[in-house]
Structure 1
Amino acid sequence: MRTMLWMRRWLAVGLLAVIAFAPAAASAAAADLVPLRFVAEAAGATVSWDGDSYTVTVVTDDGVTATLQIGATEAVVDGQPVPLGAEAVLVGDRTMVPQSFMDSLLAMPVTWDPATGEAAADPYMLKARRLVRDLMNGELTAVYDQLSPALRAALPYEAILQIGLQLAPYGEPGRAQVLGAAATAVHQNVDLLVPFTVAPLKATIRFDAEGRVDDFRIDPYAPVQAAGSPAYADPAGFTEEEVAFGEAPWVLPGTLTLPAGEGPFPAVVLVHGSGPSDRDETAYAVKPFRDLAQGLAARGIATLRFDKRTYVHSQKFASNPAFTLQEESVDDALAAVRFLAGDERIAAGRIYVLGHSLGGIALPRILDQDEEGLIRGGIAMAAPNSMLDTLWAQNSILVEAGQLPPEQLDFIRPQLDMLRDPAFDPDNSPKGYLLGTPHYWHDLVPKASGLLKQLDQPVLFLQGARDFQVPVSEFESLKADLAERTNLTFELFPRLNHLFTEGEGEIGLISEYLVPANVPEYVVQTIADWIASNP
């Protein structure tokens, strides 16, 4: 499974200044210059001009003041000199300065179109900055007024107050800076960097079609350069479509990757590991699901990968304290299967489900609940047989590797014993139970092999020999428990870790995930060959 709460590790990053200016080169071309007033006012700033001293003063919507003179190469921003990157010049009656300076001053990009003479700011960026500013300033009523009805229902006013209290250990917040924006079939999303004095955070704000805040996430900010598409992914060999499926309030956005040609194509639904995950199953520098989707497309196999419910609807989902794997993964995987079955470009009777890590635990449940008989078979990558045994082995490996203190095992052992007790009641968990949401963990106690023994769909099991998160012992446990089934295939890859990228040494630890890498082509080929042999 992907990183547990107890083992979340974030890259060390330096504290960021309240305003992170990145001046352009001193030889900025004229094409890089933009009209200060138009750009600033598009972002809600006010601009004043002193004709006697040829000085411009800008006050941003969040109170940052900048002054500069025509002919100067520096501005004074809140009392501090800041390079412009080029000389401020007058062109007609317009003060022209580098675009990079304005982006930094406004803490967001504003586009300037010289052909139309218009500047434009993304309205969602403006709304997102306002929301974060209200939250950091304790303007909770203003925050609440911006929420969608669905989010209000899940997040009462008192919960907004709790979010503010949870941020207190991070110290004083600095100025929110827009990192980027992107649209999906469900939301308009804006990412912002908030530089607290203790550690920076990233806030992701999600807007619905009416422009209301429909959900948001606040995560540690740990920028990592992710791997690009694998060499075996030929862009001419596939197309990718933005899609949405499911029912409100849990509609999910995803990517349907289709091979070139007419079809109909066999297709695979990709089901994530634990924790909030995007459609690529991005883990630091690795994007396993993107690699699989694009690699399988080159072999004539379509895929549907989607943003996980806990990623898209984080706050709404977390409002249910009794959620289980059913709500987290199973329901959405089945909705994805039904979505594919309704697409004439997908071959009837040739839909497969691939579950990675926790998704491998979900796989037997997905196959079992396929009442319409739409799923031909399953693929389990790094699948646990027993979640409790996996958690113990995972902790033991990390203690032995010096990644966790020995005391960690003294904590984990009694937690697992409580869960294994037949008398464990998730509605009234025993005193001292601290592992996590009791309903969720109680639901994960049964072995996956118990249900798999009752099913008849073919399943391909893939395992990396260097996996510390779901060790080889779980692969061997599944193999032993399911020895009487004849339509199961087991493949062990000596050099692969939990994310199915290659490495050296006996065990691949989290540090390996920070290295940009792709899922090897032989893994993709193994899956494609198995699908071909199970039409």
Structure 2
Amino acid sequence: MSPSHADIAVSFGRAVRDRDFDDAVALFGPEKIQLVDEIRARHNLPLGDDLEFFLRRLRCAVRALNGDIKSVSARQMNETDEMVTVLLTFECEDSRQELSVEFDRDGNAVNLSSPDRYTPPSYADASDFEEYSITLDAEGTELDAIATVPTSSESVPVAVLVPGAGEIDKNATVGPNKLFQDIAWGLATENIATLRYDKREAVTEIPEEKRTLENLYFTDGVRAAQRAAKRVDTDSVVFVGHSQGGRCAFEMARQYGDAGGVAALDPPVIKPLEGDGQQLRNLLKIDGLVPPHFEQAVKNYRTQKEQFHSQSADNQPSVFLNSMWNYDQFETAASLSTPLLLYEMELNRQAPAEKRERWREVLSNDRDTIHRGSELNHNCQRGEQPRSILEPVLFHKNVDKRVITDLADWIFAST
């Protein structure tokens, strides 16, 4: 008797668990590259097109968020004339993780996806706050925003949540995760208001000649802070930026002029094309290996870097690259007299140590704080090494409560 689709899925899951990647790849049909292409395109990830390396990342993502894989099971969920869908379950040391596996009628696995959906964090109590829709004007473009305001007190500080790179919405949605909703609801439960907003490039196309940090970040962040102060009726406004938003939040505070503080959650410490390719290796390697496309990726990186640093009339870098290079977050942070918080997520550490040490020089006074999230990844999720760039885009896990507590304590101490 031929094995059922559930049996095949279990064989695949065990092969992934045991690192038998040749056996795992063999279960996929001739169009296996489409699986990686789809996920890479949807989330703009540097995955390459090698299925084995994708499965290595998948295994690391499951283990990083859930612990060691102990057992594997599966059950058939749906069947059509063309496809059979099976739910594959990894029972792990700390929790379980599920995957949806689709098979064609020839028994080939043709797609993998995560059934995870967003759920609010357990540390947030929705009865403690109210939310209001707000519209921000951004050079003629309307940005949807949400003010989350505690109901227990009339006088509260307000944090403006500054999104990172890319077309980020007001919740900072990545896969099944909503980083800014977690932070907003968590802080509101701690009696701190927030305002979060759609990034301008998420709702409108910005011409290349206008893609400056001023248009992508600074102007809208300052306007959001001004609107937040009026909506919550407070003088205590802080900026809380994530990733590239953390890097840019220092300039927003400088332009705003009366910020109560700036918290930067895992801001990048090097500029585009500033490194030597080592950070690219750190990002792409998995299980101590680099994927087949690595050498070409490094070659492309070094070519772009050389072209950027040898500008001529016929070789002009993009407006965005120039804008990034002309902004120095360290100098801007050092110029501020307001309290600063740097929150480094250690599981995401890629930049050279000497670059990270610049923060120790800037934040060397009593008013500033450095937190190191030794078990946190770039999206503020608790996990463990080795990490994988697939974790936040495939699987759901809320922002760790420790981040909320640390932010709340710092905001109250600063305002």
Superposition TM-score, scaled by structure 1 size: 0.53
For 1:122-521, what aligned pairs fall within 5 Å after superposition? 225-313=116-204, 315=205, 317=206, 319-343=207-231, 345-348=232-235, 350-370=236-256, 373-388=257-272, 389=274, 392-401=277-286, 402-403=290-291, 404-419=293-308, 421=309, 424=311, 428-429=314-315, 438-445=318-325, 446-467=327-348, 471=351, 473=353, 476-521=356-401
Superposed CA deviations along residues 176-197 of structure 1, whole A, max 9, x for unmatched, are xxxxxxxxxxxxxxxxxxxxxx
Query: By how many angstroms is 1:450 displaced?
Result: 2.1
For 1:10-29, what aligned pairs fall within 5 Å after superposition? none
Superposed CA deviations along residues 98-137 of structure 1, whole A, max 9, x for unmatched, are xxxxxxxxxxxxxxxxxxxxxxxxxxxxxxxxxxxxxxxx
Report if aligned partners of 1:387, 1:447 keep a CA contact under 8 Å in 2: no
CA distance, structure 1, for counterparts of residue 372 and residue 182 of structure 2: 19
Q: 1:381 to 1:247 in 2, by over 3 A?
A: closer
SS in 1 for 2:342: strand
CA distance, structure 1, for counterparts of residue 138 and residue 302 of structure 2: 40
Superposed CA deviations along residues 32-56 of structure 1, whole A, max 9, x for unmatched, are xxxxxxxxxxxxxxxxxxxxxxxxx
Report if aligned partners of 2:163, 2:241 keep a CA contact under 8 Å in 1: yes
Query: By how many angstroms is 1:428 displaced?
Result: 5.0
**Counterpart in 1 of 2:22?**
none
Q: Could you tell me which amino acid in structure 2 is paired with residue 523 of structure 1? A: V
Query: By how many angstroms is 1:224 displaced?
Result: 6.0
Q: 1:502 to 1:335 in 2, by over 3 A?
A: same
CA distance, structure 1, for counterparts of residue 176 and residue 239 of structure 2: 25
Superposed CA deviations along residues 235-270 of structure 1, whole A, max 9, x for unmatched, are 111111111122552221111101122412100000
Q: 1:224 to 1:498 in 2, by over 3 A?
A: farther
Q: 1:267 to 1:440 in 2, by over 3 A?
A: same
Q: 1:514 to 1:467 in 2, by over 3 A?
A: same
Query: What is the CA RMSD across the aligned residues, in angstroms?
Result: 3.1
CA distance, structure 1, for counterparts of residue 115 and residue 263 of structure 2: 29
Report if aligned partners of 2:239, 2:259 keep a CA contact under 8 Å in 1: yes
Report if aligned partners of 1:466, 1:508 keep a CA contact under 8 Å in 2: no
Report if aligned partners of 1:268, 1:354 keep a CA contact under 8 Å in 2: yes
Query: By how many angstroms is 1:233 displaced?
Result: 0.9
Q: 1:440 to 1:7 in 2, by over 3 A?
A: same
CA distance, structure 1, for counterparts of residue 198 and residue 295 of structure 2: 36
Superposed CA deviations along residues 341-365 of structure 1, whole A, max 9, x for unmatched, are 222x3321x1000111110221121
CA distance, structure 2, for counterparts of residue 474 and residue 369 of structure 1: 29
CA distance, structure 2, for counterparts of residue 488 and residue 467 of structure 1: 22
The answer to whether structure 1 residue 7 and structure 2 residue 46 are counterparts is yes
Report if aligned partners of 2:138, 2:220 keep a CA contact under 8 Å in 1: no
Query: By how many angstroms is 1:339 displaced?
Result: 0.4
**Counterpart in 2 of 1:105?**
none
CA distance, structure 2, for counterparts of residue 364 and residue 428 of structure 1: 34
Report if aligned partners of 1:226, 1:287 keep a CA contact under 8 Å in 2: no
Report if aligned partners of 2:340, 2:363 keep a CA contact under 8 Å in 1: no
CA distance, structure 1, for counterparts of residue 188 and residue 294 of structure 2: 44
Q: 1:250 to 1:300 in 2, by over 3 A?
A: same
CA distance, structure 2, for counterparts of residue 520 and residue 474 of structure 1: 28
Runs (5+) with no aligned partner, structure 2: 1-41, 52-80, 82-112
Query: By how many angstroms is 1:384 displaced?
Result: 1.6
Q: 1:223 to 1:326 in 2, by over 3 A?
A: farther
Report if aligned partners of 1:361, 1:384 keep a CA contact under 8 Å in 2: yes
Superposed CA deviations along residues 356-388 of structure 1, whole A, max 9, x for unmatched, are 111022112112212xx3311100001122223
- Max Rg structure: 1
Superposition TM-score, scaled by structure 2 size: 0.67
For 1:37-48, what aligned pairs fall within 5 Å after superposition? none
